[in-house]
Amino acid sequence: MKINNLGPSGVNPYKNQMKQHQTATTNQAKSDQVEISSKAKELQERSQFAEARQEKVAKLKISVQNGTYQVDSKAVANKMIDYYSNK
């Protein structure tokens, strides 16, 4: 069996379908959107807090090495009392 002249010569139906798909996708507005979760925001806040804490620790290290660090014995005693009374 011989089949001739199925349609216009040189027409590829797959190419036509791809062209239609490409024009449909290019007509859509392309926009990017970023949403930051609450957990990520919390972690970011913690990292900023950690940086400030690292600065404080660095200052304390220097004062301990220099021998200029003064311990507030009353504050330490109050914290110990609070810790053991809450158990």
Write out pLDDT tens, residues 23-44: 666 656 667 888 889 998 888 8
Cβ proximity of 63 and 69 under 8 Å: yes
Tell if the pTM clears 0.85, that is, is over it: no
What percent of the chain clears pLDDT 90, i.e. is strictly above it? Answer: 39
Rounded to a whole number, what is the largest CA-CA distance in the chain?
Answer: 106
Q: Judge whether residue 8 has pLDDT over 70.
A: no
Q: What integer pLDDT is reported at residue 39 of this predicted model? A: 92
